[in-house]
Amino acid sequence: MVDHSGWRVGVASAPIHHGEILQGVFPHQGQLTRGLVTLPCTVHTTRASFIPARGEELTVHPIWKTKARRAAQLTAEACVPPGQGPVGGHLELTGDVPLCRGFGSSTSDVLAAVWAVQDALVSPLPPEEVARIAVRAETASDSLMFNESSVLFAQREGKVIEDFGYRMPAVRVLGFGSRPENEGKGVDTLAFPPAEYGSAELELFAELQVMLREAIHTKDVALVGAVATASTDINQRHLPIPCLDGLRSIVRETGALGIQAAHSGDIAGLLYDRDDPEVEARTEHAQRLLHNIGIHEQWIFTTGD
């Protein structure tokens, strides 16, 4: 029998990200490991509720959210001590996160599910355990569960390559659909093999990791922009942005910090110094210039401190 006297309806909400500041391959524990650093985003969110019940059956709505269902099952197993019997229930997911675009919709679903289940069972799990569950549920996960500091995250292993110790310094982001011809339909990234990098790119990734560490420790937003731009340039060989030359011109004309992109999606962003007195004028000018090159799908947000 499961002692469920402390159970309750669990609720949670999970954030999204806006693609990557840095993605590549990095040394970790004596080997090269794929890793990424995501850009936090507040444009969309995922909400979840979980009603626990005794027994093995665990259902989810919408029914096709199978990764979230798997995450809920794994979380229930992790939260209930051995010998107390299986825990099922019903998971409900709602939200407005677009699919296949680079917002981390799958991880947001999974994370909302994990947090709702642990809330229902009154058994919080550390971020490291949540990361392991997320990877088991969806094969490759983003690092949204680490919300206290920025991390370089091994997305296929669920491990932190480096914890930078602080959150990403705040920037203003002018986000947009980087492939207007897709009409917001996203990119089928499963059709693309994992990127392969040459020796020069591997050396550059190591340099960018050092640069990003310094940028986060010193809150140097210009250096964050430089890292994001370099990572976007590297990814251009693997999932190219058709209008990248035009975007570079807009960066120069509007004084942006750099270009940031989803390395497996069709969204990107121009980064600006949130504390620049001219940030509003720069952003508005960039919006007009984006329209001029055919990019009409746009949004603005500011990352937290």
Rounded Cα gap, residues 115 and 71, in angstroms? 10
Residue 162: CB atoms within 10 A of its CB come to 16
Mean pLDDT computed over 239-251: 93
pTM score, whole prediction: 0.91
Asked if the model's pLDDT at residue 297 lies above 90, the reply is yes
Percent of the chain with pLDDT over 70: 94
Chain segment 165-195, per-residue pLDDT in tens? 999 999 999 999 988 776 556 665 555 677 8
Phi and psi of 206, rounded to 5°? -60, -40
pLDDT above 50 (res 196) = yes
Asked whether residue 231 carries a pLDDT value surpassing 70, the answer given is yes
Secondary structure (DSSP) of 266-281: SEEEEEEETT-TTHHH
Class in CATH terms, 10-163: alpha beta
For residue 281, what are the CA distances in angstroms to 122, 272, 305?
48, 11, 22
Q: How many Cβ atoms from other residues are within 10 Å of residue 140's Cβ?
A: 18
- Do residues 4 and 117 lie in contact, with contact meaning Cβ atoms separated by under 8 Å? no
In this structure, the strands spanning 31-54 and 58-61 are unpaired
Delimit the domains of the chain by residue range: 10-163, 171-302
**For residue 238, what pLDDT is reported?**
86
What pLDDT, on a 0 to 100 scale, did the predictor assign at position 146? Answer: 94
pLDDT of residue 1: 40
Whole-number Å distance between alpha carbons of 241 and 247? 9
In this predicted structure, the answer to whether residue 45 has a pLDDT above a threshold of 70 is yes
Structure tokens at 149: 């500091």
pLDDT at 2: 47
- Kindly report whether the peptide bond that precedes residue 62 is cis, defined as omega within 30 degrees of 0: yes
Answer for the pair 68, 60: CB distance below 8 angstroms, yes or no.
yes
Task: Determine which helix (DSSP H) or strand (DSSP E) holds 209, and give its type and residue range.
Answer: helix 199-218
Question: What is the band of 4 on the pLDDT scale with cuts at 50, 70, 90?
Answer: low
CA distance 7 to 30: 44
pLDDT of residue 303 exceeding 80: yes
Cβ atoms 91, 69 nearer than 8 A: yes
- Taking the CA atoms of 133, 134, 138 and 140 in sequence, report the sign of the dihedral they define: negative
pLDDT digits (tens, 9 = 90+) for 111-168: 999 999 999 999 999 999 999 999 999 988 999 999 889 999 999 999 999 999 999 9
Please tell me the CATH code under which domain 171-302 is placed.
Answer: 3.30.70.890
What distance in Å separates the CA atoms of residue 40 and residue 302, rounded to the nearest whole number? 9
Residue 262 neighbours by CB under 8 Å, 6+ apart: 18, 19, 20, 101, 102, 103, 178, 268
Q: Which residue has the higher pLDDT, 191 or 43?
A: 43
Tokens of 105: 């919709």
The answer to whether 205 and 24 have CB atoms below 8 angstroms apart is yes
Give CA–CA dist 82/2, Å, rounded: 10
Under 8 Å between Cβ of 120 and 51: yes
The pLDDT of residue 178: 87
What is the enclosing helix (H) or strand (E) of 58? strand 58-61
Task: Compute the distance between CA of residue 179 and CA of residue 252 in angstroms, rounded to an integer.
Answer: 21
Q: Are the CB atoms for 42 and 170 separated by under 8 Å?
A: no
